[in-house]
Amino acid sequence: MLLDEPSLGLAPLVVEDIYQIIQKINAEQRMAMLLVEQNARASLGIADEGYVLETAGRSEWSGEKLRENEDVQNFIWGYPGSAPGRAIAK
């Protein structure tokens, strides 16, 4: 399943519901999902794998390097050490 910006323009409580539904579908249907999202905090909170793409689609960071990279944390979350774990309950 491909999901493009499922949280765009939604209230925070609705976003939480959407992400819980995404997790439920993934777990119960064992369906692979590709999530394209600017809401890095929510999407990386539920993702098995994450990628940051640069211009022209080149993969710049992925996996644990994404969560551990201070530059990525500064850019996406605003300050080092603030990368999410699995923030949204399964």
User: What dihedral do alpha carbons 18, 22, 23, 25 form, nearest 10°?
Assistant: 130
Look up residue 42 and give its amino acid: A
Whether this prediction's pTM lies above 0.75 is answered by no
Structural domain boundaries in the chain: 2-77
- pLDDT for the residue numbered 87: 41
Please tell me the predicted confidence (pLDDT) of residue 21.
95
What length is written for the chain? 90
Q: Report residue 4 as tokens.
A: 């493009």
The more confidently predicted of residues 29 and 55 is: 29
